[in-house]
Structure 1
Amino acid sequence: FRAECVAAGFGKQGVEKCVVVGFSYGGYVALKMAEMYVELVDGVVVSVSVVGLIENMVLRAVEGAGYDSCLEILLPTTVTELKTLFSVVAHTKFWLPNRLHRDFLQVSALQSSLMLYLVNEALNNNNHMAT
């Protein structure tokens, strides 16, 4: 309801494109607006908010990166896959030497069963994102 009200207000003001910013509960409203009004919302900034990610937004990001599932992208095994993960989850692009990526993957491999368990639990709690 709140997302609809904000969008209607923007329409009355003649706003055609916007970046929606949400703090706390407003983060949920901002994400809902982005889901409902794709042509209006050009970007979303969410801060200090515990919100459920909207399924189609997650799936678009995963598919846009060339993966079939969240599980594939969340458990990288190569430097290229890790760089892809960073490009999807971080707004600011930053450079790291490949050596750091390899070190991260090496440490991750030692914890792979724990990481797989944690990712599966997170995806099962949001079962619509598991595929």
Structure 2
Amino acid sequence: MVAAIKARASETAAHDHAAWAEVALPAARGIAAHAKGDWATAIRELGMALPRMAECGGSHAQRDLFEQIHLDALVRDGRASAAQQVLEMRRTYDPDGVPLNLMLGDVYEKTGLPDLAAQARARAERTLAGA
């Protein structure tokens, strides 16, 4: 997959060269690195691609998958503060999301914020109780 995208990205005459070279290729490298457990590379490569993912098209759900993989790499690499920022941004769109608040609770614990961890877990529990 990465080789095919790299070949396409090298076609400088194509009208979509920048999207392939600067977005699709780093995204593919990031996904491949994540699959290998190379969290630092996954974070770096996906971090370059994410702000421009819309240039490659795809649905919101498809772009969200890349964001979730980036978030997973942040958590697995122990970058709790960075993961916290991503989760808080996601919470603006899904304030009562159970998986999101449970993950946020874990991240808050890792960053030494037990009160916020309890609040996040309580949001998840309230949502589950109302379901």
TM-score (norm 1): 0.28
More strand by share: 1
More helix by share: 2
TM-score (norm 2): 0.28
